[in-house]
Amino acid sequence: MIITRTKKEFDRYYKLIKESKKTVGFVPTMGALHEGHLSLIKRSNKENNFTVVSIFVNPAQFNNATDLINYPRNEEKDFDLLLKALCDIVFVPDVNEMYPERDNRVFEFNGLDRLMEGKYREGHFNGVAQIVSKLFKIIKPNRAYFGRKDFQQAAIIKSMNNNYLKDLHIEIVTCDIIREKDGLAMSSRNQLLNESERKSAVRISQTLNKYVKQYSKYSVQELIKKITDEINQDYNLKVEYIDIVDDEDLQNVNKIVPGKTTFCVAVYDGEIRLIDNLAVK
């Protein structure tokens, strides 16, 4: 595995791969890797000749300074995991490399960024689009892989890719959520939970599961109330939002259609903000 820290260094190795006309899959990450990331790398390895992974904790997408400072970082452990996962090149730039000057670009996502996460994390998706577009232009992969845990992010990246980067011809691949044995959606932020919060966290996926299965018994409003109340019963947990949305335009629905509707939640577990979602099958 080749480790590169600058665009120049990356290009030097990457030129050879691009000249060979082989396909490249790209997995962008902010490090603190877990099985969820490894599943994206596995899929990329299956579908491409080479896999590039980036590790960059992107300040532009954090709307909370403490969250940025506390975001878990463990480069050595990440490299070990990437080596085992058969990553070919890892790109680990620093902030000056990615933002040599202020990025003032403002992206338009046709309102997708004003729903759910966007309501509570101002500027977050613009920051995601800034970094992902920069990375796409450097790496120019054939395919890029994102986890469905960040359901809204995947929709926004697809929109950005179609509207701003069409000439790069990158296919966006969304992969299933990987869960812990007890159902908790894997996330780098789970590392920040203490023992009691970790126990409480299970309630999020359990409650989603329970009411997604019973969706036909209640109205959408009743479902939202029941899920909120049941999660909030745990003293560590506080629901920020629960939205039941259309898979295409992410708008709230009045009627649940199996195969086209997803339940999305954001919950504070102590100080740690967790998100999860579950599709109605």
Instruction: Report, as residue numbers or ranges, the catalytic residues.
Output: 37
CB nearer to ligand PAF: pick between 98 and 237: 98
Which span sits near ligand PAF by CB under 6 A: 78-86, 94-102, 107-115, 126-134?
126-134
Taking residue 105's Cβ as centre, other Cβ atoms within 10 Å add up to 11
Taking residue 248's Cβ as centre, other Cβ atoms within 10 Å add up to 8
Question: Does residue 161 contact residue 170 with C-beta atoms inside 8 Å?
Answer: yes
Q: Does 150 bind ligand PAF (CB under 6 A)?
A: yes
CB nearer to ligand PAF: pick between 44 and 58: 58
Q: How far apart are CA 262 and CA 234, in angstroms?
A: 23
Closest separation in Å from C-beta 268 to ligand PAF:
19
The residue type found at 162 is N
Question: Which x/- pattern over 58-97 shows residues binding ligand PAF (rule: CB under 6 A)?
Answer: x--x------------------------------------
Q: Does 190 bind ligand PAF (CB under 6 A)?
A: no
CB nearer to ligand PAF: pick between 61 and 236: 61
Question: Which x/- pattern over 206-245 shows residues binding ligand PAF (rule: CB under 6 A)?
Answer: ----------------------------------------
Reading the block at residue 206, the tokens are 């359990």
The residue type found at 26 is F
Closest separation in Å from C-beta 256 to ligand PAF:
27
Rg (CA), the chain: 19
CA angle, residues 120, 256, 182, in degrees to nearest 5: 65
Q: Does 128 bind ligand PAF (CB under 6 A)?
A: yes
Q: Is 205 helix (H, G, I), strand (E, B) or coil?
A: helix
CB nearer to ligand PAF: pick between 68 and 279: 68
Q: Between helices 7-19 and 124-139, what is the axis angle to 10°?
A: 50
Q: Does 161 bind ligand PAF (CB under 6 A)?
A: no
**Residue ranges in 9-38 that form contacts with ligand PAF under rule CB under 6 A:** 28-30
CB nearer to ligand PAF: pick between 187 and 207: 187
Break the chain down into helix, strand, coil percent, rounded to 5: 45, 20, 30
Query: Binder to ligand PAF among 38, 82, 89, 131 (CB under 6 A)?
Result: 131
The residue type found at 71 is Y
| CA distances for 259 relative to 23, 43, 158, 175, angstroms | 31, 23, 19, 16
Reading the block at residue 107, the tokens are 């992206």
Q: Does 117 bind ligand PAF (CB under 6 A)?
A: no
Q: How far apart are CA 151 and CA 173, in angstroms?
A: 12
Q: Which residues contribute to the site for ligand PAF (CB under 6 A)?
A: 28-30, 58, 61, 128, 131-132, 150, 153
